[in-house]
Amino acid sequence: MKDDKETARKNYEALNIQLKDELPKLCDMAVSLFYSCVVSFIEAERDHINSTLKRLYPLLEVSPVAVPASFFFFLRGRGVARF
């Protein structure tokens, strides 16, 4: 019984040392992966917005929409637009 406890303690200590060594490396890799994912998402969102705007601009030039002046006053009151 005492031998089993000693073996378990040694295994625990060995695994704990290994974990303390590998955990910071894992955290660094996770941060790097997260950063890459965020950058890729932002680039994909930028590309999507640019392609959408390229399709919308011709529609705005061809078909001007009459917007009531009260709408612009509404936006200015909300701090959205400054005229």
pLDDT in tens, 8-44: 999 999 999 999 999 999 999 999 999 999 999 999 9
Comparing 3-12, 25-34, 71-80, the range with the smallest average pLDDT is 71-80
How many DSSP H helices and E strands does the chain contain?
A: 2, 0
User: How far is it, in rounded angstroms, from Cα 40 to Cα 46?
Assistant: 10
DSSP string, 6-59: HHHHHHHHHHHHHHHHHHHHHHHHHHHHHHHHHHHHHHHHHHHHHHHHHHHHHH
How many CB atoms are closer than 10 A to CB 27? Answer: 10
pLDDT at position 83 is 43
Q: What is the pTM of this model?
A: 0.53
Q: Mean pLDDT, to the nearest integer, of 55-59?
A: 81
Query: Where along the chain do its domains lie?
Result: 2-77
Cβ 72 vs Cβ 81: under 8 Å: yes
